[in-house]
Structure 1
Amino acid sequence: MLNAHDLEQLAAKGISKHQIEEQLAHFAKGFPFLEIVASASVEKGIKVIPKELQAFYMEAWDKYLSKNHRIVKFVPASGAASRMFKDLYAFLSSEATEPDTPAVKEFFRDITRFAFYHLLNAKCLENEKKSISSLIAAGQYKEVVSNLLEPKGLDYGQLPKGLLLFHNYPGKTRTAMEEHLAEGARYAKNHTGEVNIHFTVSPEHQEQFQQLVAEKKSVYEEKYSVEYDITFSVQKTNTDTIAVDMENRPFREHDGSLLFRPGGHGALIQNLNDIEADVIFIKNIDNVVPDSFKFATVIHKKIIAGVLVHLQERIFRYLHLIESGKYSRTQVEEMIYFLQDELCIRNPEIKYLEDAELILYIKDKLARPIRVCGMVRNVGEPGGGPFLATNPDGTISLQILESSQIDMRDPIKKKLFNEGTHFNPVDLVCAVRDHKGKKYNLPHYIDKNTGFISQKSKDGKDLKALELPGLWNGAMSDWTTLFVEVPVETFNPVKTVNDLLRPEHQ
């Protein structure tokens, strides 16, 4: 199936023949649905931090920051913003000459409220010799849209969200990337005043990100009395996945070469694995707010980070105890209850384990990367959710799942999914070193059977594409996981351009 030219192509991308064989097998067999036991809830699986304990966890985080630990804020920022402008693209390609949908009408009605308004107005004056207001008065709505989206103007349709102007401030504006700099200074500043932020970007936009950093870094360093270490990485080519035709044969380009596609955000586990840190915050590029709304975000970021380091201390204590060999039966029982009650890890076979096997099982479940994930109550926003699911080893644990991983044809599973009270806003804080200070090899903890197959097309031909296990889904399947409820005020994503008109973005 693979010829000499194919093998050369694989070698150039750093992909092994074995990887391709695995991917082709996934296309042939598909991915199994995950067996869910229940939706996680505040009754089982989602921790609610009472107000009287919030200060305790914030102090735990501040204490951790005061010591010699490396903290990194990790922001996936490579996706193009084109989907933000779906309604405007539809208007641009339609026969309509005036706004004809609620979304496009809202865009033009409130156009002066967007942070990019003055920049767009300048482009319209340059290219059309008219201001935005003059173009609208003349019924030239599409000229305004084309200057926003196309290369002759701001080119926002092709830029990543991180480079778009999101928010207005007196006398200035901020991009989404700048908001992450401002946010990181508030909860990720270490004892020396350093703030480490890492953005994953697409290769074609890395230079623009670096240029923006060069222009703005010193401004925010002075404003927040910090020193930034801002780094970038791109998705690795060896995480691309092969595409196949509808008969599951490798899809070939016109020149006969194999077609590869990006493996989705799950590929970023490799980038995350390259980060040298003790604790890593993960948050999407578009979930930011202006300074006037950051209070809730900062408070709850510190709380979940405090929960993480408090949890890590207890886990490390148990691991040192196990390795000392000086533990009592009571302490073993305490560890079992900790796994079951605090971490919601269940093992149906635990009663059959001999003493030595039991200790090995406990150690195996404790000696893993740790993540604490904020969970927001359902308010109709799309996204994966928190569940109790069965793992490949037969144990049950907390997992973040997408609807595509659940068999919705099964009425029981569909009911469990629909009963979910919370969803995943991508608000994670991770501890990636073991109790001896050695960094975990994160790809070791991926469940490879949690990928996803979708149908796409290329040059008019149908094809199938394979996405790797999602970064916070199957890529972290075998991590120690704790869910903590966070308020909906901490979740303010920008999925469409009109989301920028919401009060929390004004």
Structure 2
Amino acid sequence: MFTKNDLNQIQELGIDLATVEQQIQDFTDGFPFMQLQKAATPENGVTQLSEEKLEEFVALYESKVKSITPLKFVPASGAASRMFKSLFAFLEEGKSDKSTVQFFERLSEFAFYEDLQKVLPENADEKTIADYYLTSKGLEYGTLPKGLLKFHKYEKANRTAIEEHLVEGANYANTDGIVKLHFTVSPEHLSRFKALLDEVLPTYETDYGVKYDITFSEQRKSTDTIAVNLDNTPFREKDGSLLFRPAGHGALLANLNDIDANIVFIKNIDNVVPDRIKQTTYDYKKALAGVLLYYQDKIFDYQHQLTEWASQPLINELTEFFEKELCVLQNSAFTDLPHNEKVTYFLKKLNRPLRVCGVVKNTGEPGGGPFWCKNSDGTTSLQIVESAQVDLNDEDQKAIFNNSTHFNPVDLICSLKNNKGEKFDLLKFRDPKTGFVTQKSKDGKDLKAQELPGLWNGAMADWNTIFVEVPLITFNPVKTVNDLLRDEHQ
């Protein structure tokens, strides 16, 4: 199947030949659908915090933050081009719709308006405005990542998305005045990110009395996946070389695996709001971290007890803890296992990364949600599931998916170290059979592409997972440029 040149290309990318062969086999076999058991709801799998509990968990986090090293992890490599789909259609084809009309009518309300005014020629018409806004003639927003776009207006200076994350970090990921942030970026934009931060960091450090420790990483070429023709043979470029493509946000598991921090906050680059409504975000971020620390302590304590004296009452207590609090239902054979095998089972299940996922009430947003799912080992546990992972032709599965009460806003707090302070190898806790196959085209030819298990989906399938409801105001993503005109972003 592969020529000598192919093998050299694969080696240069840092990919194992066996991995490529498995990817081609996955195209041939397809990925199995998730087996939904039921939607996770406030009555069953989603924790709702009372005001008293919210304050309690915030206080727990604040009491422990000095002894831990929190880090804020922000995927920021995606291009913003999809934000401007309608504007590109207007610029290139003259097509106009309600969104383009709104864009031009309310242009002065955007945070980038002053910058745009500085580069526009006099008496610019709408097409010229779009040209100077999107392309290298002016602001070139059409080719930049979201992190570098100005999102919000302020009296002193308007802020980009990445600057809003600096402010957030100072307010909940701050240990003794040190704020650690990590951004995943694409290599072609790294210099711009660094230049922007060099310019603005002194101001934020002065305003918030902190020092920022900022690191970057790039999505590795070794995580790219091979593309195939519709008959599952390797797709070849015009020069005969193999085509490898970026494998989605699941590829960032390798970046997360390199992080050295006790707990990690994960949040998308575009889900930020102005200062006037940030307090709820701060409160719930701290509360989610408090929930994580509470359960981390319980898990570490159970591990200690199991190694000291694994009594039958302790096994009974652990069975209830997993079912009622960690929402892991044992398989049908568990009851009949010998005592020592139950001890081994619980030691394995406790010794896993832990995540607390904020979920918001479902308001019709496309995307994943929290469900109880059947796992390959026969257990049932909480998972975040995307629609592409569900067999919607199965009426029962479709009904469960449509009964979801909550949505995944990508609001995670993760514990990446074990009870000995050692880092988990996160690659050992993913489910490789939860990837995606999509159809694309290149140079006019159809092809099939493969995405790795999603970062908060299959990449974290074998983690201990807790879902907590967070207010809708904490979820304000910017999917189109006109989203910046919503009240929450003004």
Equivalent residue in structure 2 for 1:329, among 300, 303, 312: 312
Q: Which residue of 2 aligns with 1:58?
A: 58
Equivalent residue in structure 1 for 2:372, among 388, 394, 400: 388
Deviation digits for residues 438-465 of structure 1 (CA, Å, limit 9, x no counterpart):
1100001010000000000000000000
Deviation digits for residues 320-340 of structure 1 (CA, Å, limit 9, x no counterpart):
11111x243222211110000
Shift of 1:293: 1.1
For 1:171 and 1:221, how far apart are their aligned partners in 2? 15
Equivalent residue in structure 1 for 2:137, among 130, 141, 152: 152
Query: Is it true that 1:424 corresponds to 2:411 in the alignment?
Result: no
Amino acid aligned to 1:148: Y
Shift of 1:347: 1.2
Specify the SS of the correspondent of 1:157: helix
Shift of 1:433: 0.5
Task: Show the 5 A alignment for 1:272-311.
Answer: 272-311=256-295
Specify the SS of the correspondent of 1:425: coil
Task: Show the 5 A alignment for 1:45-124.
Answer: 45-67=45-67, 69-96=68-95, 100-124=96-120
Specify the SS of the correspondent of 1:388: strand
Amino acid aligned to 2:326: L
Amino acid aligned to 2:148: L
Specify the SS of the correspondent of 1:72: strand
Shift of 1:95: 3.6
Query: Is it true that 1:15 corresponds to 2:20 in the alignment?
Result: no
Q: Which residue of 2 aligns with 1:399?
A: 383
For 2:313 and 2:52, how far apart are their aligned partners in 1? 30
For 2:314 and 2:237, how far apart are their aligned partners in 1? 61
Shift of 1:377: 0.1
For 2:400 and 2:320, how far apart are their aligned partners in 1? 26
User: Structure 2 length as normaliser, TM-score?
Assistant: 0.99
Amino acid aligned to 2:38: A
Equivalent residue in structure 2 for 1:212, among 186, 190, 196: 196
Specify the SS of the correspondent of 1:66: helix
Shift of 1:230: 0.5
Deviation digits for residues 376-400 of structure 1 (CA, Å, limit 9, x no counterpart):
0011222210000011111100000
Between 85-94 and 280-289, report the one with greater CA deviation.
85-94
Q: Which residue of 2 aligns with 1:182?
A: 167
Amino acid aligned to 2:161: A
Shift of 1:353: 1.2
For 2:94 and 2:429, how far apart are their aligned partners in 1? 51
For 2:465 and 2:322, how far apart are their aligned partners in 1? 11
For 1:106 and 1:363, how far apart are their aligned partners in 2? 58
For 1:66 and 1:257, how far apart are their aligned partners in 2? 52
Amino acid aligned to 1:173: N
Shift of 1:292: 0.8
Shift of 1:141: 0.8
Can you give the 5+ residue segments of structure 1 that lack an aligned partner in the other structure?
Answer: none
Equivalent residue in structure 2 for 1:346, among 329, 339, 358: 329
For 1:383 and 1:60, how far apart are their aligned partners in 2? 32
Shift of 1:94: 2.4
Amino acid aligned to 1:101: D
Specify the SS of the correspondent of 2:158: strand
Amino acid aligned to 1:273: N
Amino acid aligned to 1:34: M
Specify the SS of the correspondent of 1:482: strand
For 1:329 and 1:147, how far apart are their aligned partners in 2? 71
For 2:469 and 2:127, how far apart are their aligned partners in 1? 44
For 2:204 and 2:266, how far apart are their aligned partners in 1? 21
Amino acid aligned to 1:142: K
For 1:162 and 1:495, how far apart are their aligned partners in 2? 13
Deviation digits for residues 250-304 of structure 1 (CA, Å, limit 9, x no counterpart):
0111111100000110000000000111000000000001111101100000010
Aligned pair count reads 489
Shift of 1:193: 1.1
Deviation digits for residues 379-432 of structure 1 (CA, Å, limit 9, x no counterpart):
122221000001111110000010000000000110111110000000000001
Q: Which residue of 1 aligns with 2:36?
A: 36
For 1:305 and 1:437, how far apart are their aligned partners in 2? 18
Can you give the 5+ residue segments of structure 2 that lack an aligned partner in the other structure?
Answer: none
For 1:307 and 1:470, how far apart are their aligned partners in 2? 24
User: Percent identity over the alignment?
Assistant: 52
Amino acid aligned to 1:497: V
For 2:250 and 2:44, how far apart are their aligned partners in 1? 27
Report the aligned-residue RMSD.
Answer: 0.8
For 1:328 and 1:452, how far apart are their aligned partners in 2? 44
For 1:95 and 1:336, how far apart are their aligned partners in 2? 63
Amino acid aligned to 1:65: V
For 1:229 and 1:321, how far apart are their aligned partners in 2? 38
For 1:230 and 1:383, how far apart are their aligned partners in 2? 30
For 1:296 and 1:473, how far apart are their aligned partners in 2? 26
Shift of 1:362: 1.2
For 2:442 and 2:94, how far apart are their aligned partners in 1? 26
Between 350-359 and 202-211, report the one with greater CA deviation.
350-359
Shift of 1:26: 0.4
For 1:49 and 1:168, how far apart are their aligned partners in 2? 32
For 2:341 and 2:20, how far apart are their aligned partners in 1? 36
Query: Is it true that 1:24 corresponds to 2:24 in the alignment?
Result: yes
Shift of 1:352: 1.7
For 1:487 and 1:121, how far apart are their aligned partners in 2? 37
